[in-house]
Amino acid sequence: MTARPLRILGIDPGLNITGYGVLEVVAGKINLCEAGVVRGRSQGSLSERLAEIHSGVVEVIASFAPSTMAIEQLYSHYKHPRTAILMGHARGVICLAASQAGVGVEHYSATQIKKVLTGNGHSPKGQIQLAIRRELNLLETPEPADVADALAVALCHHYLHARRLLARPKPA
């Protein structure tokens, strides 16, 4: 009996555009299943936009049955606290969708993602996109940037998860 492949859903949360990427790991090989965006209408009310994000993420989870979801943590600049509050709403409905489907959620900071993929926690976006292209053998950088960011979160989770599995003591 073969084990179910590991599927990682990476999410870059946003109120207007939420990027997602689904990676499947089989025998240590990383394959891209799908990547895209869930769009919230920029003109709709906050509650309508959140409902659209939730619905879109529910659909992705139902389609790909991920083993886990990796999501970028909230970052806020002290000059823009309202942005952090609004982004927290988006992250909340995304985490709710995962919880409703019984999918565990792991949270990673932007600097942690960058450090895992490039060795530098302050890498520019172009360097991250190059790392994604290289690691997934892509001919072009995924567009929009939210998709590339979601794939970066998923790759970060994979590499950190693989490291944890290798560090576990072997059963006697």
Give per-residue burial for 99-130: e unless 16+ CB within 10 Å, then b: eebebebeebebebbbebbbeeeebeeeebbb
Nearest to 111, CA basis, from 101, 123, 103: 123
The catalytic site residues sit at: 12, 72, 146
SS3 107: strand
pLDDT tens for the 172 residues of the chain, in order? 455 678 999 999 998 899 999 999 988 899 999 999 998 776 778 999 999 999 999 999 999 999 999 999 887 666 777 878 888 999 999 999 999 999 999 999 999 999 999 999 999 989 999 999 999 999 999 999 999 999 999 999 999 986 555 455 555 5
Report the 3 state secondary structure along 134-165. HHHCCCCCCCCHHHHHHHHHHHHHHHHHHHHH
- Taking the model in full, what pTM does it have? 0.90
Amino acid letter, residue 110: A
> Residue 22 in contact with residue 34, Cβ under 8 Å?
yes
